Amino acid sequence: MNLSPHSPLPERASRWRWLWVLPRLAFVLFVGGVALLLWMSDQADKEEKRATLTSDMLWLEQNLRFHLTRNEELLGRIDLAHTASAKAFESFARTLFGFESGLRQLIWLDAEGRLRLAHPTTMDPSLAGETGEAVPSRQSFRLARSLGKPVYSSAYPFFTNDWQFEVHVPVSREGQIVGVAVGIYRIRDILGDSVPWWLAERYRISIIGDSGKVLGTRSKIESSVTEEGYQVDFDPPGWGLALHAVPYHAPRPLASVLLSVSLVILAMIVLWSLWILRRHVLRRQAVEEQLQQEHAFRKAMEDSFDTGMRARNLDGEIIYVNPAFCRMVGWSATELIGRRPPMPYWADDYLDETRAIHDRILAGEGPEEGFELKLKRRNGEFIDVLIHEAPLIDAHGHQFGWMGSMVDITERKQAEERARQQQERLQSTARLVAMGEMASSIAHELNQPLAAISSYCTGAANLLRNNAPATDVVPALDKAVDQAQRAGKVIRRIYSLARHSENRFERVLLGAHIDAALSLMEVDIRQKGIRVTLDLAPQAVVDGDPVLLEQALFNLFRNAVESMRDTAPDRREILIVLSCADGYVVLTVADHGCGIDARVADKLFDPLFTTKAEGMGMGLAICRSVVENHRGRLSFEANPEGGTVFRILLPMAPQ
Ligand code: ADP
């Protein structure tokens, strides 16, 4: 697999597109060559046929001429004995006809041209007639007699569709022409006698007159000739007779037909394969183009990543890195590709650890959930990365390497470290504050009972000094005991508050604890003549720590009582409302006290902040810690009727 960028495909495609001309050209050349070959073979065939036709016709012409010449000689040698009697003449004629020379009638004319003998006896009117018109035969007779040489007549029709001509051969004895032997050739018979069967098989052979009229034909089939024939004149007839032959349209030889058919089939197969090949290549090109686009898309995606990508083969050699990876480690792709471990970005201090995990990954035992590693940038900076490795699988399903995605978590790590340190600092501060708060709380909570015990004991001592009866002293001592017990209770509560470092939550019916907290304030409330109005929703139940919640309530009530020190007795009133709304329990404690100055509002919840001479400044701080510990909120606002309203919001316990 090549992970390096390719050259753009369309460019390559256009570069090689001209190659398509080659198969097309080859195909055209092939088809042209085949057509030329077939044409040439056809031409050679025709040429051969023509040559054969010419030689055949020349041979036929020679043959005819030979027959005619031989007949001339034989006729010239007619014996007078033959002409003496009809019987001898018939015998001579029959012998002559027996040579199959085309002769069909033999006539003996005396020196004056009178018909003496004929065989067969069927008379030609022109020969027998006495009219003396210029019929060819008379002319031929006169010419033959005057020349003393054989003379041929022109061809003339015989009956309806037959033609014949004559040869007049003068016969002389002792220098005297004694008569003329006339041989009559019937053209149809000449053809029948002198054209051998094998020639007749090949050609339609005709004898043509001087006017171009066909005088006789030897033909196997009348209408199967299509081609131009070959014509040869044959003399001595001398009347323009010519032999004309037209070859029969012979079917092409099977081998030639097979060759043509195979070539055509071959051409079609070549065309078909070219078409298939082209389609395949086009499809392939389309797929390649799609792949290229996908590659470009993926590359753009990889390049835009913040995640570093690094691929290694099974030997651990780097085969691919994306720009984000290069940015992360500060080395360029060319510097990294081909590198083997140890990599230049491995941190020296963690070399063994890095190599171990590298070996584990190559062995296929890398942690699936990813792992964190410290690497070193080229400039020496360290970076923390989170790496996930996945196997690289090729098209055949074989693994050929590992692809690692790398996220820079340096900032996250630093933030985590900062948070951890801050947390540690906070915890130690919180511990200090808590200790301080506890010490202050103890002092705060014990202040009042100790003061009460002190005053009761002082009162009892004064009574004893004045010899007061025991019945007067005992109540004071009882009250001192009560206060001592209360102090013990407070210590236990604060102790349990300190112990409650971890939440021990239970269902708390808030109304009951309001009553309990108020009962602790009972003496004060009564002494100061404060009216307490309660409006408590019975279903106000929260999940919480009852001791802590009661402590928080007590602090709020006590502040309300103390704030009304300077309030007119008739306005000394505390309104406590407990209600439920929207899944929350809302408790408001409204007093008509001195109110809260806007300048101190910000610092109200700070530990040790107080405006009271004897105050510890811990009540509201404890109160808010407790409320927030219960996922609630503590707030205050000015009471429209004068004084302050403190509000506690706590999540309601699920029913
Ligand atoms: P302390 O009561 O010991 O001063 P607290 O934390 O309970 O400590 O209260 C801090 C200060 O908030 C008080 O000194 C007082 O000035 C103010 N404060 C608290 N509750 C009230 C209230 N109901 N009305 C007016 N001022 C209040």
* Across 638-643, average pLDDT: 94
Which residues lie below 8 Å from residue 424, measured CB to CB, with a gap of 6+?
Answer: none
Index of the ligand 1 atom closest to the CA of residue 591: 23
Q: What share of residues in the chain are helix, strand, coil (percent, to 5)?
A: 50, 20, 25
Index of the ligand 1 atom closest to the CA of residue 589: 23
Residue 442: the pLDDT is 73
Coil/strand/helix, residue 572 = coil
Residue 433: the pLDDT is 59
- Closest protein CA for atom 25 of ligand 1: 595
Index of the ligand 1 atom closest to the CA of residue 646: 23
C-alpha 83 to ligand 1 mean position (Å): 187
Best of 437, 564, 604 to mutate for ligand 1, by most ligand atoms within 8 A of CB?
Answer: 604
C-alpha 128 to ligand 1 mean position (Å): 180
Index of the ligand 1 atom closest to the CA of residue 614: 3
**What distance in Å separates the CA atoms of residue 553 and residue 513, rounded to the nearest whole number?**
8
* Across 100-109, average pLDDT: 81
Which residues lie below 8 Å from residue 442, measured CB to CB, with a gap of 6+?
Answer: 490, 491, 494
Best of 447, 594, 610 to mutate for ligand 1, by most ligand atoms within 8 A of CB?
Answer: 610
Please provide the size of the chain in residues: 655
Best of 554, 608, 620, 648 to mutate for ligand 1, by most ligand atoms within 8 A of CB?
Answer: 620
C-alpha 509 to ligand 1 mean position (Å): 26
C-alpha 371 to ligand 1 mean position (Å): 54
Index of the ligand 1 atom closest to the CA of residue 616: 3
Would the pLDDT of 435 be above 70?
no
Residue 630: the pLDDT is 86
Tokens, residue 96: 């002559």
Cβ count near 400 (within 10 Å): 15
Q: Which helix (H) or strand (E) holds 70?
A: helix 21-76
Residue 15: the pLDDT is 61
C-alpha 566 to ligand 1 mean position (Å): 14
C-alpha 610 to ligand 1 mean position (Å): 6
C-alpha 604 to ligand 1 mean position (Å): 7
Would the pLDDT of 444 be above 80?
no
Nearest Cα to 58, choosing from 238, 231, 246, 241?
231
Query: Which of the two residues, 46 and 440, has the higher pLDDT score?
Result: 46
Whole-model pTM? 0.42
What would the pLDDT profile of 519-567 be if each residue is shown by its tens digit?
Answer: 878 878 988 999 999 999 988 999 988 877 887 898 899 899 999 999 9
Q: What is the DSSP letter of 350?
A: G
**What distance in Å separates the CA atoms of residue 108 and residue 81, rounded to the nearest whole number?**
12
**What distance in Å separates the CA atoms of residue 608 and residue 563, rounded to the nearest whole number?**
17
* Across 601-610, average pLDDT: 87
Index of the ligand 1 atom closest to the CA of residue 609: 10
C-alpha 621 to ligand 1 mean position (Å): 10
Index of the ligand 1 atom closest to the CA of residue 560: 23
Query: Which of the two residues, 639 and 256, has the higher pLDDT score?
Result: 639
C-alpha 493 to ligand 1 mean position (Å): 21
C-alpha 372 to ligand 1 mean position (Å): 52
Residue 127: the pLDDT is 46
Index of the ligand 1 atom closest to the CA of residue 620: 6
Q: Which helix (H) or strand (E) holds 215?
A: strand 214-218
- Closest protein CA for atom 13 of ligand 1: 610
C-alpha 425 to ligand 1 mean position (Å): 29
Coil/strand/helix, residue 47 = helix
What would the pLDDT profile of 26-38 be if each residue is shown by its tens digit?
Answer: 888 888 888 888 8
Residue 146: the pLDDT is 86
- Closest protein CA for atom 16 of ligand 1: 611
Index of the ligand 1 atom closest to the CA of residue 444: 3
Tokens, residue 6: 């390719």
- Closest protein CA for atom 12 of ligand 1: 604
Would the pLDDT of 1 be above 80?
no
Would the pLDDT of 191 be above 80?
yes
Residue 651: the pLDDT is 95
C-alpha 646 to ligand 1 mean position (Å): 11
Q: Which helix (H) or strand (E) holds 308?
A: strand 308-313
C-alpha 445 to ligand 1 mean position (Å): 15
What would the pLDDT profile of 305-339 be if each residue is shown by its tens digit?
Answer: 788 989 999 888 999 998 899 999 999 999 999 99
Residue 483: the pLDDT is 83
Best of 524, 559, 562 to mutate for ligand 1, by most ligand atoms within 8 A of CB?
Answer: 559
Q: Ligand 1: residues whose CB is within 6 Å?
A: 555, 559-560, 563, 591, 593-596, 604, 609-612, 615-621, 644
Residue 432: the pLDDT is 56
What is the CB-side half-sphere exposure of residue 557 using CA atoms within 13 A? 27
What is the CB-side half-sphere exposure of residue 248 using CA atoms within 13 A? 16
Contact 241, 209 (CB under 8 A): yes
**What distance in Å separates the CA atoms of residue 201 and residue 215, rounded to the nearest whole number?**
20
What would the pLDDT profile of 156-186 be if each residue is shown by its tens digit?
Answer: 887 767 788 888 889 887 778 888 888 888 8
C-alpha 441 to ligand 1 mean position (Å): 14
Separation in Å, CA 412 to CA 85, 121, 407, 408, 652: 152, 143, 11, 9, 37
* Across 14-29, average pLDDT: 74
Contact 573, 530 (CB under 8 A): yes
- Closest protein CA for atom 21 of ligand 1: 559
Contact 485, 456 (CB under 8 A): no
Index of the ligand 1 atom closest to the CA of residue 619: 7
Query: Which of the two residues, 216 and 577, has the higher pLDDT score?
Result: 577
- Closest protein CA for atom 11 of ligand 1: 610
Residue 568: the pLDDT is 93
User: Whole-number mean pLDDT of the chain?
Assistant: 82
C-alpha 617 to ligand 1 mean position (Å): 7
